[in-house]
Amino acid sequence: MSNRRKEWREFVVVVGRTEAGSVRLKFVPKPPQRAFDGNYRQLAIAIYKVAIACEQLCHDVDLNFVISPETFNNRLDIEASGRVSDALAQEFVEKAMLRAGLENVVIE
């Protein structure tokens, strides 16, 4: 197993909502860690990989989502023109993580 995969397992992705109701992925350190301990570049790479996968999925299935990575806030927002159900959001996130090669990352 490569070091990169090992470092990516140092965080979990928490699926939530923004104040406006958009889907938000928050990348947080796995307990008992409280910080990312200098792995911000690896975290940014992971966030951008997921953002790319989201963009590709939107293109493939003709979804009109806006993908907004914010590496400085450890998050990725997925904004839709209308309300997206929790089930659709979870399925979309799982497919994006798989496409990004981050299938070993825990999604909560």
Q: Is 37 left (phi over 0), alpha (psi -120 to 50) or beta?
A: left
Helix axes 40-61, 86-99, angle to 10 degrees: 110
Q: What is the pLDDT of residue 36?
A: 61
Task: Give pTM, 2 decimals.
Answer: 0.81
* Residues 38-96: tens digit of each pLDDT: 667 878 888 999 999 999 998 898 888 899 999 888 899 988 877 778 888 888 888 99
* Residues 24-45: tens digit of each pLDDT: 999 887 766 666 666 678 788 8
